[in-house]
Structure 1
Amino acid sequence: MRREVFEDNYEAVYKYIRYLTNDQELTHDLLQETFYRFYHKNYTEYERTYLLKIARNLVYDHYRRKKIIGFFQLNSEPIAKEGLPEEIIERNAEIEKLYGALQKIKWNYREVVILRYIEEYSVKETAMILNCSEVKVKNNTARGLKVLRELLGGEKDV
């Protein structure tokens, strides 16, 4: 059971922490602590939701201790790997531009946009992870996307 939970959720939790911290070593440390706490509490439902909630709290705690919560630098690691070389270059440039814009928006907008559009969680799941109302998730999503569109020059496909 534990191995299944780990295998099914490792990549999603890793990416989420990495988006928030942009630090590979810290990501691995927080990832390990996330699964440790998850197993210690014996959650049975909504595994990924609880894992992401635990991960979020660990990231917050880490940066609160360091008093640097605010703007984290997102890593613009190339994601596009398939297609013609020109397409890969163009897609990676778009990704870099998006990550650059994400760095400039408020933390609460960034977090919602990452969960909703990069990690593709529902409004309900996002609200559970962030421990807030669905209305707040919807409002922050709309505001975050508006700011991103402005930063990206009015592009509609954010």
Structure 2
Amino acid sequence: MRREVFENNYDAIYKYIRYLTNDPELTHDLLQETFYRFYHKNYTEHERTYLLKIARNLVYDHYRRKKIVGFFQLKSDPIATEALPDEVIERNAEIEKLYCALQQIKWSYREVVILRYIEEYSVKETSMILNCSEVKVKNNTARGLKALRVMLGGEKDV
């Protein structure tokens, strides 16, 4: 049972923590602690939701302890693709711009955008993970996307 939960959720939880921390060593430490806490609570339903809540709380706690307000720029991982080198370079540059812009928006917007568009969770799942209303998720998503568009030059701030 534990091995199955680990194998089914490892990648998603790792990516989520990595997007928020941009530190591979810290990511592994927090990932390990996430599964440790999960196994000691013996959750049986909505495993990924609980794992993401635990991971989120651990990241919050880490940054509160360190009193770090901003996050470091996430360096894009190599893209495993059969694309031409020019296409890979262009894609990496776009990803880098997105990560830079993500770090400049409010934490609450960043978190929702990551869960909704990078991790591809529904509004309902996102609201469960963040322990907030679906309306707040929708509002923060819209505001976060607008802030990203402004930073990426897609629309003027009014």
What 5-or-longer segments of structure 2 have no aligned partner? none
Q: Which residue pairs with 1:77 in the alignment?
A: 76
1:14 Cα offset (Å)? 0.5
Instruction: Output one character per residue of 1:15-68: Cα deviation in whole Å (capped at 9) or x when no partner.
Output: 101111111111111101100110101111111111000000011011111111
Query: Identity, % of aligned pairs?
Result: 82
1:74 Cα offset (Å)? 3.4
TM-score, normalising length from structure 1?
Answer: 0.94
In 2: Cα distance, 1:67 partner to 1:78 partner = 27
Residue type of the alignment partner of 2:41: K
Q: Which residue pairs with 2:28 in the alignment?
A: 28
Residue type of the alignment partner of 2:75: S
Q: Which residue pairs with 1:44 in the alignment?
A: 44
Q: Which residue pairs with 2:121 in the alignment?
A: 121
Q: After TM superposition, which residue ranges in structure 1, 4 or more long, deviate above 6 angstroms?
A: none
In 2: Cα distance, 1:98 partner to 1:147 partner = 11
Q: Is the 8 A contact 1:20 1:74 kept in 2?
A: no
What 5-or-longer segments of structure 1 have no aligned partner? none
Q: Is the 8 A contact 1:19 1:74 kept in 2?
A: no
Do structure 1's residue 130 and structure 2's residue 126 form an aligned pair?
A: no
In 2: Cα distance, 1:152 partner to 1:81 partner = 25
TM-score, normalising length from structure 2?
Answer: 0.94
Instruction: Output one character per residue of 1:119-157: Cα deviation in whole Å (capped at 9) or x when no partner.
Output: 0011111111111111000000000000000100107xx
Instruction: Output one character per residue of 1:60-88: Cα deviation in whole Å (capped at 9) or x when no partner.
Output: 011111111x3212312245332111111
In 2: Cα distance, 1:78 partner to 1:64 partner = 27
Residue type of the alignment partner of 1:111: E
Q: Is the 8 A contact 2:22 2:75 kept in 1?
A: no
Equivalent position SS for 2:44: coil
Q: Which residue pairs with 2:53 in the alignment?
A: 53
RMSD across aligned C-alpha pairs, in angstroms? Answer: 1.1
Residue type of the alignment partner of 1:119: E
Q: Which residue pairs with 1:148 in the alignment?
A: 148
Equivalent position SS for 2:45: coil
